[in-house]
Amino acid sequence: MVALRTYVFLDSLQPQLASFVGKTARGFLPIPGMASLWVEIAPGIAINRVTDVALKRTRTVPAVQVVERAYGLLEVHHEDQGEVLSAGAAILDYLELEESGRRKPKLVTKQIIRSVEPYQAQLINRNSAGNMILPGQSLFILETEPAGYVTFAANEAEKAARIFLINIQPFGAFGRLYLSGPESEIDSAADAAINALEQLSGVE
């Protein structure tokens, strides 16, 4: 029995998130403005068949496929939102599941660090794949469970505020997001990310 952990549609990939995926993913790279679907399931090995279904039934292309023992993650995208929505419908049909059966995202950690110290900024930058955080900026850290929902949070935060995407990890036991920027912008981004996740329905 396959469990639907994450199922979330991004209507328009924001520039920094699209660029981050393009920099770190091994698949077909998205560009800003494309629609995107993120699907996370358990067990992980089943994501191979999910990818097969999406690609055979639609014109979407994948940027991310992560196969772990416990969980598997897939991202597909296309400039036509209808194609992406059709891919989602095909996946749900194959799994014999409904969108309402997805897990509801849980906010595991949410914290803001004001005026980051220079040495901590260096530590963060050594482990990031996105922008660099500068000393004195504020830092927002978010963890979600299931992991895949952190992409939706990042996209909505980027829509709402002028921030910098430092790092995002949308797979594993927990998803993790790092954003930096001026204090007021980080506050706005944090509110947008949290509100977006709280609006998503699902099984507790």
Judge if 74 and 152 occupy the same domain. Answer: no
pTM: 0.96
**In degrees to the nearest 10, what's the CA dihedral of 25, 29, 33, 37?**
-60
Q: So what's the pLDDT on residue 86?
A: 99
Establish if 204 belongs to a structural domain.
no
Q: Looking at residue 115, which CATH number applies to its domain?
A: 3.30.70.1710
Establish if 9 belongs to a structural domain.
yes
Judge if 116 and 175 occupy the same domain. Answer: yes
pLDDT tens-place string over residues 31-57? 999 999 999 999 999 999 999 999 999
**pLDDT, mean over the chain:** 98
Alpha helices per DSSP H over 26-129: 47-57, 81-95, 118-126
Ranges of residues in the chain with a pLDDT under 50 are none
Q: So what's the pLDDT on residue 153?
A: 99
Coil, strand or helix: which one is 130?
coil
Establish if 86 belongs to a structural domain.
yes
